[in-house]
Structure 1
Amino acid sequence: MYEITSLRQSATLGEEVARRLRYMVITGKLAPGTHLVEDKLARDFDISRGPIRDALRRLEGEGLLESRRRGLFVVGLDESDVEELYTLRESLESLALRHSMQRATPQDWESLLRPLEAMRDAADRGAAEDFAAADLEFHSRFYELSGHRRLVSVWEHYRPTFSVLLSVTNHQDSDLHPSAEAHLALLDAVRSGDVEVSLQELSQHLLGAKNRMRDARSKGTG
């Protein structure tokens, strides 16, 4: 059993449990309709019920679990959920892109080169998880540069879900280099200052991700 020595440590445990459960729900390892019981999860994870309760609350807020009379149950993701998530992300990120292109300096765009290089390095190593982390960091910069506080808040709410989706979709690619270069094309469009071209690049980028997620679901891996 982990020793819970502080609220901060408890919160960290809750985040880790949420991360693991989120992955299991999105990939279908926890099937829709599964009843999640705090006591059993606490035994499975060998921790106290506090972090479990925090994790379940997070996932309920993300729409992956739902409360019924007998407790919390897995909702999971069906085809309509995937469609909703990617159309939501395109709406959010298009707004972030518009705002960031109005505000960002050339030096600001340079900050996207670091996650881009991290993606290339991960592609060289065939490290899908590292690629996903760098991918998410790249896209998060548009929200950070937008100067739109509430937009950032909405993105941070859904970011953990998209982190798992990225992990799933990146595992569909035997070669991650084309995806890294697609990010470079998006960055080049943004740096050119052409908003419409940038939005078109973003739309195609997210459409590819959505299609890979659908492929993963059809293969039973997502």
Structure 2
Amino acid sequence: MIVSPIRQAPLGEQLLVQLRALIVRAELTAGTHLVEGWIAERFGVSRGPVRDALRQLELEGLVETRRRGVYVRGLSDTDLAELYALRGALESLAVRESMARLPGGDWSVLHTALDRMWAAADAGDSAAFAAADLDFHSGFYAIGGNRRLAATWATHRELFAAMLDVTNATDRDLRPIAHDHAALAEVVQAGEVEPALAALAEHLDGSLARMRSALTSRPDVAPAS
């Protein structure tokens, strides 16, 4: 497992990003005992940021508190199915509400994200591609203008970002995925609700399948206790 000291503020947020990624990539496997002192020493932070990070990871369902401390739960296939079912429900509503803005609405957020995706795909930059991918999907929430719906998506976005980092890193050619996003944007902007929702469902099913495939090749590591 490769880790690096954290020196940028806010420390809790930086630590959270690293721990979340390690769990999603299964470099911290299910059953690993997350000892506050070990984490603080390994990442070069105090115990306060550690507690904050573990609290958020528990809200995300990646860790759980037991009698003797906090342990990694990881991501099972059931977790993936639940997460994508939730995402599908949220994003379907976001797409419906964004389409209700047609023929108006500011759709530039989608096109800007697509431009970034194409550029990242051409450069082979999976991290930049993942960031643009999430911005693309978040664009539906922004266009629809439902603040509470957008806030609900925001509570899950960072977990999906970590998951996308895993799947995109395994894809040698990201251009087909960029093309899929462009096709989805085109169908949505065409204004027909049912075809748009069907295209979204197919798109998310593909994302789930790629995530499942990536997780089957995750390395196992010994628990750190």
Residue number in structure 2 paired with 1:108: 106
Q: Quick check: 1:119–1:131 contact (8 Å CA) kept in 2?
A: yes
Q: Tell me whether 1:207 sits opposite 2:205 in the alignment.
A: yes
Q: Counterpart of 2:57 in 1: which secondary structure?
A: helix
- Give the whole-Å Cα distance in 2 for the aligned partners of 1:211 and 1:158: 19
Per-residue deviation, 1:139: 0.4
Residues 1:162 and 2:173 are matched in the alignment: no
Could you tell me which residue of structure 2 aligns to residue 173 of structure 1?
Answer: 171
Offset of residue 161 of structure 1: 0.6
Q: Size of the alignment, in residue pairs?
A: 216
Instruction: Return structure 1 stretches of 4+ with deviation > 3 angstroms.
Output: 1-4, 104-107
Match of 1:14 among 8, 12, 15: 12
Q: Is the 8 A contact 2:102 2:191 kept in 1?
A: no
Superposed displacement of residue 71, structure 1? 1.3
The two structures, once aligned, show a CA RMSD in angstroms of 1.9
3-state SS in 2 of match to 1:220 = coil
SS of structure 1 residue aligned to 2:74: coil
The 3 A distance-change label for structure 1 pair 92 and 3 is closer
Query: What is the rounded CA distance, in whole Å, between the counterparts of 1:139 and 1:64 in structure 2?
Result: 23
Aligned residues with identical type, % of pairs:
48
Unaligned runs of 5+ in 2: 221-225
Query: Residues 97 and 146 of structure 1 are in contact (CA less than 8 Å); yes or no, is this contact kept in structure 2?
Result: yes
CA distance in 1, matches of 2:6, 2:123: 34
Q: Secondary structure at the match of 1:175?
A: coil
Q: Please tell me whether the aligned partners of residues 17 and 55 of structure 1 are also in contact (alpha carbons under 8 angstroms).
A: yes
- The one of 88, 91, 97 equivalent to 2:89 is 91
On the 8 A contact 1:104/1:145 being kept in 2, the answer is no
Counterparts in 2 of 1:105 and 1:70: CA distance versus 1, 3 Å: farther
Q: Give the aligned partner of residue 145 of structure 1.
A: 143
Match runs of 1:32-111 below 5 Å:
32-103=30-101, 106=104, 108-111=106-109
Q: State the Cα deviation string for residues 62-113 of structure 1 (Å, max 9, x = none).
A: 1111111111111101111111111111111001111111135545112211
Q: Secondary structure at the match of 1:111?
A: helix
- Return the alpha-carbon distance in structure 1 between the equivalents of residues 57 and 206 of structure 2: 26
Structure 1 residues 2 and 119, CA gap change in structure 2 (3 angstroms)? closer
8 Å Cα contact 1:103/1:146 also seen in 2? yes
Q: Deviations over 1:187-207 (max 9, x none)?
A: 111111111111111111111
More helix by share: 1
Q: Scaled by the length of structure 2, what TM-score is found?
A: 0.90
Q: 2:175, 2:6 → 1: CA distance?
A: 40
3-state SS, counterpart of residue 150 of structure 1:
helix
CA distance in 1, matches of 2:70, 2:151: 25
**Is 1:172–1:212's contact at 8 Å kept on the other side of the alignment?**
no
The alpha-carbon distance between structure 1 residues 100 and 133, as it changes in their structure 2 partners (threshold 3 A), is same
1:3/1:168 CA distance change after superposition, 3 Å: closer
Query: Which letter maps to 1:52?
Result: V
